[in-house]
């Protein structure tokens, strides 16, 4: 198969696993031993880390004057997702909303934004040797070219933003995005998902927001780009900071978005204890949701032995590996498992009683949704990353790089930790030491059967 065909297929979102070729970002240079015979377990074949890039210099090179003090924070957070860029060892990644943490003040937690001028960015990286190199960066901007920022949108719905020491309130910004998943369309534009709305965001190849699709009834006012209420209103009940996180581009052009955690229906306690989440299918041609799927987590102690808090379960990545087949990542901050899921025909639970906020019991409350007639997606385990030595924690991005190879990226949270000790007496970051890492994993058998 020619390199031109491979590049076109990648641009269209067609997984390489379907192309009958291996184009792996495998060893330190991206090559694999062609004579190696896969064993019976998955293994890490390479690991590369991002070097020290001052966040202020990075941001101001893209949008001059946006960051006056980066407080010693380095570029990070690009592990929110990873998508093949068409060349071996190169990937599109996306930052989240930027450095943020929590400090308890008067018994209540406040959300801090130590670098409030930071603008989320699409970042193209190259893995060479043991290094991750930034080769291109694209800032996310509004219709007028202003930075969207990563600040929360709406008072009363999103957490109130504060300065690094939690002492001074910051303004809300209706343009703000907490970006997570990323895919690139055949026309060169990007699709992203966001946690605030939650929303699906269409972005030009130069980073300008073309349209932000949000749930019906969100009533987001004042944004400097088109906002369309095209998503089910049930999503207004997303848990704070747990909106959309995973995004997949199917070969036919449809998108699949995953809500990171169960919705808070009928209340927060129900969402915290639930294992039932939702995936949505969006037609880029119709600009509408065409299906909503019920997905159920494994028990938390199966995903992460020793963990007993169900609310720690999250979906952070969904990846297309066939026309209607996905890899779905179930994770905690410590470990993750990848499942194969085939999407059925039909609209799933879209428009059903399980899509109505007033339903009692809610879908989220069901201990056995299948027994209640909910068409839960069937899944089969592909790999338990917790059993693979060398895989870091908090894996948020997964990319298919060959018939049986994956590239994983972790979210290092810009080196931030929670609490007043995140910054020293001079207001400089006390870095966690966690690095952004791209890890290559070889599976024992091909993804496509």
Q: How confident is the model at residue 97 (pLDDT cuts 50, 70, 90)?
A: very high
Q: Terminal CA-to-CA distance of the chain, rounded, Å? A: 20
Q: What is the rounded average pLDDT of the residues 95-107?
A: 96
The first and second tokens of residue 90, run together, are: 């190169």
Q: How far is CA 109 from the centre of its chain?
A: 24
d(CA 56, CA 65): 9
pLDDT of 34 higher than 90: no
Q: What average pLDDT does range 14-24 have in this prediction?
A: 36
**What is the average pLDDT across 272-285?**
98
Residue 145 scores a pLDDT above 80: yes
Predicted confidence (pLDDT) per residue in 55-82, tens digit: 999 999 999 999 999 999 999 999 999 9
pLDDT of 290 > 60? The answer is yes
- Within a 10 A sphere around the Cβ of 223, how many other Cβ atoms? 18
Q: What pLDDT, in 10s, does the model give residues 294-321?
A: 999 999 999 999 999 999 999 999 999 9
Alpha helices in 308-354 (DSSP H): none
For the cut 70, the answer to whether the pLDDT of residue 96 exceeds it is yes
Residue-level pLDDT at 448: 75
Please report the pLDDT score of residue 30 as a whole number: 30
Q: Residues 156-161: what's their mean pLDDT? A: 96
| Residue whose tokens read 């070219």 | 145
- pLDDT in the model for residue 337: 98
Domains (ranges, CATH) in the chain?
3-31+39-442 (2.120.10)
pLDDT band for position 39 (50/70/90)? Answer: low
pLDDT band at 37 (very low <50, low <70, confident <90, very high): very low
Give me the pLDDT at residue 346, please.
96
pLDDT at 119: 98
Helix, strand, or coil here: 361? coil
Q: Position of tokens 């808090």?
A: 309
Answer yes or no: are the C-beta atoms of 136 and 86 closer than 8 Å: no
CA angle 419, 397, 259 (to 5 degrees): 80
Per-residue pLDDT at 33 exceeds 70: no
pLDDT at 233: 97
Q: Please give the mean pLDDT across all residues of the chain.
A: 92
- Mean pLDDT confidence for 355-361: 95
Mean pLDDT, range 185-209, rounded to an integer? 98
pLDDT (0 to 100) of residue 449: 55
Say if residues 158 and 220 touch (Cβ distance below 8 Å).
no
For the stretch 234-275, pLDDT in tens is 999 999 989 999 999 999 999 999 999 999 999 999 999 999
Q: What pLDDT, in 10s, does the model give residues 371-398?
A: 999 999 999 999 999 999 999 999 999 9
What residues form DSSP beta bridges with 249?
Answer: 255
pLDDT at site 16: 39
- Identify the sign of the CA torsion 98, 224, 220, 105: positive
> Which has the minimum average pLDDT: 11-15, 111-115, 121-125?
11-15
Query: Length of the chain, please?
Result: 449
Q: If pLDDT is split at 50, 70 and 90, which confidence band does 23 have?
A: very low
Does residue 40 register a pLDDT over 80?
no
- Quick one: tokens of 427? 């207001």
Assign 62 to helix, strand or coil: helix
């Amino acid at each position: 198969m020619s390199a031109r065909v491979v590049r076109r297929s990648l641009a269209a979102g067609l997984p390489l696993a379907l192309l009958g070729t291996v184009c792996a970002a495998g060893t330190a240079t991206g090559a694999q031993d062609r004579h190696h015979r896969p064993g019976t377990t998955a293994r890490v074949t390479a690991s590369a880390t991002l070097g020290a890039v001052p966040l202020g210099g990075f941001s101001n090179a893209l949008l001059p004057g946006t960051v006056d003090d980066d407080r010693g924070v380095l570029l990070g957070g690009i592990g929110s997702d990873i998508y093949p860029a068409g060349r071996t060892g190169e990937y599109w990644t996306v930052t989240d909303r930027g450095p943020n943490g929590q400090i308890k003040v008067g018994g209540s937690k406040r959300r801090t934004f130590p670098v409030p001028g930071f603008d989320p960015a699409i970042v193209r990286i190259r893995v060479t040797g043991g290094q991750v190199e930034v080769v291109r960066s694209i800032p996310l901007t509004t219709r007028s070219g202003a930075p969207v920022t990563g600040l929360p949108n709406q008072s009363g719905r999103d957490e109130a933003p504060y300065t690094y020491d939690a002492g001074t309130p910051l303004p809300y910004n209706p343009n703000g995005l907490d970006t997570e998943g990323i895919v690139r369309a055949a026309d060169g534009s990007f699709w992203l998902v966001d946690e605030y709305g939650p929303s699906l965001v269409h972005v030009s190849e130069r980073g300008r927001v073309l349209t932000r699709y949000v749930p019906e009834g969100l009533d987001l006012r004042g944004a400097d780009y088109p906002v369309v209420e095209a998503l089910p209103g049930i999503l207004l009940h997303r848990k704070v900071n747990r909106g959309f996180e995973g995004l997949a581009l199917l070969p036919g052009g449809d998108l699949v978005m995953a809500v990171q955690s169960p919705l808070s229906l009928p209340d927060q306690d129900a969402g915290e204890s639930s294992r039932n989440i939702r995936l949505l299918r969006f037609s880029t041609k119709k600009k509408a949701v065409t299906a909503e799927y019920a997905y159920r987590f494994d028990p938390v102690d199966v995903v992460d032995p020793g963990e007993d808090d169900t609310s720690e379960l999250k979906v952070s990545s969904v990846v297309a590996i066939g026309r209607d087949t996905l890899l779905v990542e179930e994770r905690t901050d410590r470990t993750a498992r990848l499942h194969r899921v085939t999407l059925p025909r039909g609209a799933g639970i879209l428009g059903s009683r399980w899509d109505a906020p007033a339903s009692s019991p809610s879908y989220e409350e069901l201990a056995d949704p299948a027994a209640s007639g909910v068409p839960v997606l069937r899944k089969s385990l592909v790999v338990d990353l917790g059993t693979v030595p060398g895989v870091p924690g908090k894996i948020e991005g997964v990319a298919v790089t060959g018939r049986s190879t994956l590239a994983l990226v972790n979210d290092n949270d810009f080196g931030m930790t929670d609490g007043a000790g995140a910054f020293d007496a001079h207001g400089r970051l006390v870095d966690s030491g966690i690095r952004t890492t791209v890890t290559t994993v070889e599976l024992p058998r091909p993804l496509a059967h």
